[in-house]
Amino acid sequence: MSENRAFLGIVFFISANFLTALVNAIAKYLSLDIHALLVTWGYFVGMTVVVIGYAVATRMRPAAVFATKRLGMQLLRALLLVLTLWTLFVGLTFIPLADAVAIVFAAPLIITALSGPLLGERVGPHRWGAVLVGLVGILFIVQPSGGVLGWVVLLPLASAFAFSLFQIVTRKMAGTESTFVTLFYSCVGATALSTPVALYFWTPLDGQKLAILLLAGALGAVAHFFTIRAFGLAQASFLAPFNYVRLLWAIGLGYIFFGDVPGPYVLLGSAIVIACGLYVMMRERRLVG
């Protein structure tokens, strides 16, 4: 892996994380006037428009868009994506942006805990220890969000759990489906699955809100593209630690748009969760290597 390719991979990956944090900030802003579940639907619609538009503009063959040997897994992945963003966007209605993003960073620890029973991977005592210490960090983070363990902090935790299952399903499908086919079914499937709920919570949308919703979806699609491009330039294990830059983006955007300043417990808990996540990554890298 050349230094230029690695650097370009980092740039793409950090940019993708910025766009993801920006989408979260947009979702929180829109949720002030629109139900968060409707915001989620609009995001998926925007992504679907971009993905289908790209396929049409580049004249992709139908097989390159639709052909799949694992339709059930594709739809399960789409459902898990819907659950991930439903719980996250609803949680953002009540919780500061940085707090929610920090809690979602429990996902790598949850994946570690679930990789044994669901993937048959061996998880040793070192990584189990990191998972338990990381949970302590989560407790530090949720304390400032009201002083008690209220139901609202369970939403980003549920998002982290759903995202962990989403990643595990993605890992199971690795090497069997093309990237664009998986992206297509994720977007279209998520739009279809979220539409009935969106209709139930439907409220009239003016042109400005509709444009912002579609923009959020477009940004999400670009973030997916940047992520795919980054992994094409550098190894996943090399890029993984840079995922935590998203917390810095979330802190900055939370302050700019909402005036939120993370408290000391949030920062301490975030540091613990990030340290445990990095430790798990290093252990996995050593075992693979």
pLDDT digits (tens, 9 = 90+) for 24-57: 999 999 988 899 999 999 999 999 999 999 999 9
C-alpha distances in Å from residue 212, one per residue of 39, 83, 216, 281? 10, 22, 6, 36
Check residue 266 and give its pLDDT.
75
- The answer to whether the beta carbons of residues 131 and 112 sit under 8 Å apart is yes
**Taking 50 as the threshold, does the pLDDT of residue 148 lie above it?**
no
Number of C-beta neighbours around residue 160 at 10 A = 23
Which residue, among 211, 227, 205, 244, has the nearest Cα to 106 in the 3D structure? 244
pLDDT digits (tens, 9 = 90+) for 207-238: 888 899 889 999 988 888 888 777 777 766 56
Higher pLDDT, 160 or 147: 160
pLDDT digits (tens, 9 = 90+) for 84-134: 999 999 999 988 888 888 888 777 677 667 666 665 656 667 666 766 777
